[in-house]
Structure 1
């Protein structure tokens, strides 16, 4: 079994809780209050800025030019492509630049990004790759699940979010992350793999906490 599948199997129940969370289901059924989604967009904007820094550690810790370039491209994808989803809603919800500049991450948000950065600093390119994987992969799975709800993709407000995170472009980014982890761990010891599982499980738990934080806002 490839390491990515091992990690995925161990986090499936957590991801199931994410999919069934009322915030996520509210996006899929178009019933989520916009005030909650507005809070989420601001917090996720702050999250993405820190998330990109974890990928920057991948550039630093890359073992060859190809992987260095791939992590550099991933940073561009976050700041230009994924951030474009947020910029769409920043305009729709009339969130000002002053609001974004003055916003502060919640404790759950700051704890999540601090954990990823800490594991990335301490570890190798393997730990960096594992630390960023749960976020993108779980979003893809969630969006693909929501896209199966009748009329979800066509929803006037939330359809854009579902389309963005279930797109072929986003799927390609996630596939790169999965494939890189599997290639990096071909000769990894059981102890190394268990450490990666720990990172992946904890970041998956943080994903659930992020959804819940947004819903409780």
Structure 2
């Protein structure tokens, strides 16, 4: 009688033990884009800053076509879109084709990319000892260097030049004594927005 009364408790104990000791396994498949989100934010932040520095007011009310050949691999997508948007905000009339334009605006991209740097303070590269980091500082940089000029289509005369403009962006990810990561910089990282 006593043994039968113990049976439910034994089953419950074994079930709980198998639950805690056996653990559980979850598999999540994650795919990444060719360029990370942070890399894209850094590059586009630099592009936004440099394009906002252009003053297209001398071309206001002129029918202009933007030649993006000099943008290289970035001649489609966000960069030419932002240049056209900036032109339009200064009253420039945007031509759909080169043939209908009276002015050709040529864009040249000298630099558009990212770099990174990692600094560590602690015990590293010691045989038979695990790495111990007191401080880890990861910094990523984005840079955009751009120049534009405009010429009359008929005469070829240069009527406007932007000058060479450059803008940088950065993100600093720091861990100190096991705390962090702490994000600072010109972009807001998604890690700081989790749960919002």
> Given the two structures, how large is their TM-score scaled by the length of structure 1?
0.25
> Given the two structures, how large is their TM-score scaled by the length of structure 2?
0.27
Rg larger for: 2
More helix by share: 1
- RCO higher in 1 or 2 (8 Å CA, sep ≥ 6)? 1
